[in-house]
């Protein structure tokens, strides 16, 4: 535990007004740099299930636990 004190940084205070909107506009988060993940998204396109609508609609589970 020797490093604990050294490593203890004080938390920064958040700047700017809080944005609690969760309406799909900006989600209160910085926008994703879409260029950076463009090739990843293309790769995802190639593995996504066919007939997404049917796939999602039919995924019905019994409650568990």
| Binding residues for other proteins (CB under 8 A) | 1, 3-5, 7-9, 11-12, 14, 18-24, 27-32, 34, 37-38, 40-41, 43-44, 47-49, 52-53, 55-65
CB of residue 45 to other proteins, shortest distance in Å = 9
**What does the alpha-carbon distance between residue 14 and residue 51 come to, in Å, rounded to a whole number?**
43
CB of residue 13 to other proteins, shortest distance in Å = 9
Tell the residue number behind the tokens 């910085």, with chain if given.
Answer: 30
**What does the alpha-carbon distance between residue 43 and residue 6 come to, in Å, rounded to a whole number?**
43
């Amino acid at each position: 535990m020797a490093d604990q004190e050294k490593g203890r940084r004080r938390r920064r205070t958040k700047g700017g007004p809080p944005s609690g909107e969760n309406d799909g506009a900006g989600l209160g988060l910085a926008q994703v740099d879409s260029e950076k993940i463009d090739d990843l998204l293309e790769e995802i396109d190639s593995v996504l299930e066919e007939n997404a609508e049917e796939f999602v609609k039919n995924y019905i589970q019994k409650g568990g636990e």
